[in-house]
């Protein structure tokens, strides 16, 4: 029953007409009757919602993505002799990511999806300036709203040793676009340091954009890694049903 529920989301990454097996054997995906049609975006969205909760339950060894912890991110502005380090990054909200669009037969034989996310981020922010020996420290809270992630990937079908059909998802590329500059709040014991850091971030919005882009890209790579793991372990027949031939 659980695998039947999962049928919905896999269409986003796996639906296409033809793919080639090793040994030059072809599989025709028209022989499968998917739970969601390729044009049924609402059906696909319901399936994606199920899969995000399965990821957070670490089903089949997948990694939870809400919350997700990132080690560190850096932004450097050499011309201004200014740099930022964001550590112990905690990201929540990924499980509510929405499917905006799915794409098939892109150049290079790739498929793709577009996700829209609202992410809440906390971490330790360090700012270093050439005009001061001691760095600035603050706890930062950042809200990333309506960020778009365009993911393109290659994929192929393969017959396993168990004579079952599996999907192999190849390398992905993630491009991110912010619909708005992320909002933020700084907390520190030194009010003067907080004002200085806040002024720098407000006058250089590209720093916030860069941090939010890197955070979003890391989250999306983790999501695709989970898709890849699931598809390599679960035979196609469990999320596609064979159409009866006339």
* pLDDT-derived band at 39, boundaries 50, 70, 90: low
pLDDT value of position 96: 94
**With a threshold of 0.85, does the pTM exceed it?**
no
The more confident residue out of 108 and 149 is 149
- Is the dihedral angle over the CA atoms 161, 105, 117, 196 positive or is it negative? positive
pLDDT in the model for residue 195: 92
Look at residue 92 and tell me whether its pLDDT is greater than 80: yes
Say yes or no to pLDDT of 193 above 80.
yes
Provide the pLDDT confidence category of residue 29 given band limits of 50, 70 and 90.
very low
Question: 15 in helix, strand or coil?
Answer: coil
For the stretch 128-137, pLDDT in tens is 998 888 999 9
Contacts of 15 (CB under 8 A, 6+ apart): 29, 34, 38, 104
pLDDT top residue among 20 and 103: 103
Asked whether 129 and 99 are in contact (CB, 8 A), the reply is no
Contacts of range 64-72, beta carbons closer than 8 Å, 24 or more positions apart: 65/94, 65/95, 65/219, 65/222, 65/223, 65/226, 66/91, 66/92, 66/93, 66/94, 66/95, 67/91, 67/92, 68/94, 68/218, 68/219, 68/222, 70/215, 70/218
Confidence bin at 36 (pLDDT 50/70/90): low
Q: Taking residues 69-78, report their average pLDDT.
A: 91
Neighbours of 131 (CB within 10 A): 6
Token pair belonging to 127: 């700012």
Domain covering 66-235 assigned CATH 3.40.50.2000 in the classification: no
Does 4 or 202 have the greater pLDDT score?
Answer: 202
The 3-state DSSP class for residue 199 equals helix
**Cis peptide leading into residue 244 (ω within 30°):** no
User: Best-predicted range by mean pLDDT among 71-80, 105-114, 155-164, 234-243?
Assistant: 71-80
**Interatomic CA distance for residues 184 and 144, integer angstroms:** 9
Note the pLDDT of residue 166.
84
Question: How high is the pLDDT of residue 33?
Answer: 42
Name the β-bridge partners of 123: 140
pLDDT score of 34 more than 80: no
Q: Band of the pLDDT at 217, cuts 50, 70, 90?
A: very high
- C-alpha–C-alpha distance, residues 131 and 151, integer Å: 41
Domain ranges of the chain: 66-235
What pLDDT is recorded for position 79? Answer: 86
């Amino acid at each position: 029953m659980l695998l039947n529920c999962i049928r919905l989301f896999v269409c986003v990454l796996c639906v296409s007409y033809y793919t080639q097996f090793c040994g030059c054997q072809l599989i025709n995906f028209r022989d499968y009757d998917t739970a969601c049609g390729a044009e049924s975006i609402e059906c696909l969205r319901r399936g994606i919602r199920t899969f995000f909760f399965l990821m957070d339950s670490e089903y089949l060894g997948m990694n939870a993505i809400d919350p997700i912890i990132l080690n560190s991110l850096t932004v450097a502005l050499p011309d201004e002799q200014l740099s930022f380090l964001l550590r112990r990054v905690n990201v929540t909200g990924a499980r509510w990511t929405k499917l905006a669009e799915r794409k098939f037969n892109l150049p290079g034989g790739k498929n793709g999806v577009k996700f829209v996310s609202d992410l809440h981020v906390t971490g330790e922010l360090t700012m270093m300036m050439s005009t001061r020996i001691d760095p600035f420290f603050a706890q930062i809270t950042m809200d990333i709203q309506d960020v778009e992630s365009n993911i393109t990937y290659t994929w192929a079908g393969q017959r396993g040793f168990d004579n079952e059909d599996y999907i192999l998802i190849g390398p992905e590329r993630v491009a991110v676009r912010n619909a708005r500059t992320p909002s933020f709040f700084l907390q520190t014991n030194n009010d003067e340091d907080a004002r200085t850091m806040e002024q720098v971030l407000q006058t250089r919005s590209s720093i916030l954009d860069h941090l939010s882009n890197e955070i979003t890209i890391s989250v999306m790579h983790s999501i695709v890694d989970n898709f890849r793991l699931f598809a390599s372990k679960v035979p196609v027949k469990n999320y596609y049903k064979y159409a009866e031939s006339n």
